[in-house]
Amino acid sequence: MSNVEQLRQKINDLTSLIDVTSIITSTLDLDELMSLVMEKAQEVMHAEASSIMLLNEDTGLLECEIALGKVQDKVKNKIQLKIGQGIAGWVAQTGEAIIVPDVSSDSRFFSDIDQNTGFQTRSILAAPLKVKDKVIGVAEVINRLDAHPFTKENLEIFETFCRQVALAIENARMHHYMLEQQRLRQQLESAHRIQQSFMPQSFPDSAQERFLIYGKNIPATAVGGDLFDFVKLDENRLAIVLGDVSGKGIPAALFMARLISDFRYYCNRAESPADLMEFLNQALLQRSQQGMFVSLVSMLLDMKTGKLIISNAGHLPPLWWRETDNRIERVENEAGIPLGILEDVDFDNQIVNLQPGDTILLYTDGVIESHNEKNQMYTLDRLVQEIRPPVPEPHDFIEQLINELKRFQGAVNQHDDITLLALRWR
């Protein structure tokens, strides 16, 4: 080759690299990107066929992503090679580019592909796709159209191609990942709004202003498994529930949504909170949600007299601030086991006769099990210490407890859902 021809070839190679750069910046669609780049590589190398195989990190196999040439429809998505298997497997294993002038004399050549497709491979030029020295795949061009073997000059330009291709693939993957993350965030935000709509949007009161009630739920993630709800059964009775579904995230949120629906249905049929627990327990057992369960406190308030009937299914004891003697009592009734575990569980009722100024506090374990930077737990004792006179009315009381909990946690991320509910008899 004359000097002029060599210069012309270098100019063509440089032009091809510029073209590849333009292709890479033209799209972030991974399949389109690989197809366009390998078309260019095949053209520049004057090859019959080309392919890209990417490493599946889950299986540890090289999988064909793009195959161009006469038999591309027979090849794509059907080839899988182990690391070290075939020419591509050898390149992935060693991280080195290679020219194979005659595959028939190379023991590394994997002939099954030719046998299955009818294609005849004579020579191969293969190079690794690397990102930060990590092999993510292998690119190949196969059979020069002029039947000559590939040259070192071909190898140099192809390696340069592959460095750009590897970076472009990684960028496209990152772009796809970011889009997926954005889509997931949007879905979780929607799920959060939907779940929060299951929580009470307003709080019941009485015409005579005999009581005030307020609750707040703060999920640890976008959605969670804590819940509280109210149903006004008639002029005299208010059903109240607060619970904590096992687990976190979307499964717990779906379980929680169904449980609130069950509560609203069965509380109109139950004669007491203990009866309600039995109805809910049977409903959960019939659905058998793969071991999921819920701890729950159910209360029935007589809105004229202040009589409060409480039933507990494996939940933390309600705290009763007794205004007349300035003390806190833990309502330690015979708590049954959480709902959704066993049949034929006996749930009991306990009666609390509220007096003016009394406050009942319900809470989930996300409150007392919160940790701070010293890995200290908030604890039930600390929560009890925060309930001291004068106890504010429910809204301010709950907000005060949440602010105190945040001060305790400091910079530590919330690890569990937090739910608090306060009832003040006036």
Tell me if 187 is assigned to some domain: no
Average of pLDDT values for 67-76? 67
What are 42-70's pLDDT values in tens digits?
Answer: 887 888 988 889 999 899 999 988 788 86
Check whether 304 has a pLDDT greater than 70.
yes
Q: What share of the chain is helix, strand, coil (3-state, %, to 5)?
A: 40, 25, 35
Based on the fold, state whether residues 38 and 142 are members of the same structural domain: yes
Q: Which of 245-259, 265-279, 316-330 has the lowest mean pLDDT?
A: 245-259
Q: Are residues 152 and 281 in the same domain?
A: no
Return the pLDDT at 73.
Answer: 60
For residue 35, being part of any structural domain is answered with yes
Residue 352 lies in a domain: yes
Mean pLDDT of 283-308: 89
Q: Worst-scoring range by mean pLDDT, 91-105, 205-219, 396-410?
A: 205-219
**pLDDT digit string (tens) for 236-251?**
999 999 999 987 777 8
* Other Cβ atoms within 10 Å of 251 Cβ, number: 16
The predicted model scores a pTM of 0.66
What's the structural domain count of the chain? Answer: 2
Q: Do 120 and 224 share a domain, yes or no?
A: no
Q: What's residue 6's pLDDT?
A: 52
Separation CA 283–CA 263 (nearest Å): 10
* 231 lies in the same domain as 313: yes
Position 76 scores a pLDDT of 54
In this prediction, residue 254 carries a pLDDT of 83
The residues that bridge with 351 in the sheet, in sequence order, are 309
- In terms of domains, do 224 and 87 share one? no
What is the number of alpha carbons within 13 Å of residue 217 lying toward its C-beta? 24
Tell me if 53 sits within 8 A of 126, measured CB to CB: no
Q: CA-CA distance, 78 to 73, in Å (whole number)?
A: 9
* 183 within domain boundaries: no
Is 101 in the same domain as 137?
yes
pLDDT digits (tens, 9 = 90+) for 308-367: 999 999 999 999 999 999 999 999 876 679 999 998 888 999 999 999 999 999 999 999
Write down the pLDDT at residue 20: 57
Q: Are residues 29 and 121 in the same domain?
A: yes
In a domain, 188, yes or no: no
The full DSSP string for 149-179 is: PP-HHHHHHHHHHHHHHHHHHHHHHHHHHHH
Looking at the domain assignment, is residue 345 inside a domain? yes
* Shared-domain flag, residues 225 and 374: yes
> What's the whole-number average pLDDT of the chain?
86
Residue 184 lies in a domain: no
CATH assignment at residue 337? 3.60.40.10
334 and 409 fall within a common domain:
yes
Same domain, 272 and 140: no
Lowest average pLDDT, out of 60-69, 124-133, 169-178, 365-374, goes to 169-178
- pLDDT score of 323: 94
Residue in this structure with the two tokens 């058998």, named with its chain if needed:
288
DSSP 8-state class, residue 205 = -
pLDDT exceeds 80 at position 124? yes
Same domain for 75 and 211? Answer: no
- 189 within domain boundaries: no
Band (208; pLDDT cuts 50, 70, 90): confident
Least Cα distance to 421 among 272, 193, 218 occurs for 218
Q: Containing domain of residue 34, as a range?
A: 3-176
Q: Looking at residue 25, what is its pLDDT? A: 61
Residues paired with residue 301 on neighbouring β-strands, in sequence order: 238, 308
We report the CATH number of the domain holding residue 47 as: 3.30.450.40
Residue 219 confidence (pLDDT)? 87
pLDDT at 28: 64
